[in-house]
Amino acid sequence: MYLEWRRVQRTGLRRLQESRIPLYERTRQFRVYSSTVIPGFLQTYEYAVALLGSIARVHGTPDDVDEAAVARVERSHIIRKGNHRFGILLEESVLRHVVGDAATMAGQLGYLLSVMALPAVSVGVVPAGHPRDMWTLETFTVFDDERVHVELLTAAVTVTTPGEIAQYARAFEEMASLAVYGSAARSLISAAIDALD
């Protein structure tokens, strides 16, 4: 399924955030690869406001950014409640791309460090500048093994064909093998915070 953002965002961004709650609540395993931004599950309110404000401006959607950011942060309770597991992979560039201002980004990266301690959350960072056999991909989320959401500039693509879901799952594993975790990932995040000064 291919849905243009202008169609799904025509009434604003809050409703879109809320519409995903049932999918998020029933999903047990989330595998998220992001080459662009901190995934919504892990966003602070301030980061969400800055990012969603940019999205509303670029897409020309009605300005309900504050309400949308509140909805995004509220639906993030699933990282702390329920029987969910999160595998999050970030390209190192995501840590370096300043969304909002330096204070917003420092707060977001600090929050990222804190959620890494949650037992249901695994965060890996794919370091920049290392040789790799897999190119940087578009941002995607695998929901269990049932569907994949792919984010493009102009549209959201939902993949439900088993063979394509399997290909995204393999791509996630390939990226996971390139990532660093634990103290090495925390060091990259801390270096990105230090670079904001």
Taking CA atoms, 127 is separated from 96, 165, 169, in Å, by: 12, 25, 20
82: left (phi over 0), alpha (psi -120 to 50) or beta: left
Place of tokens 């992979």: 89
Domain extents for the chain?
Answer: 2-11+28-42+84-194
Architecture in CATH of 2-11+28-42+84-194: 2-Layer Sandwich (3.30)
The per-residue pLDDT for 93 is 97
How many Å apart are CA 58 and CA 162, to the nearest integer? 33
C-beta separation of 46 from 52 below 8 A: no
pTM: 0.93
The per-residue pLDDT for 63 is 82
Tens digit of each residue's pLDDT, the chain (197 residues): 777 766 766 677 787 778 888 999 999 999 999 999 999 999 999 999 999 999 889 888 888 889 989 999 998 989 998 899 999 999 999 999 999 999 999 999 999 999 999 999 999 999 999 888 889 999 999 999 999 999 998 888 999 999 999 999 999 999 999 999 999 999 999 999 999 97
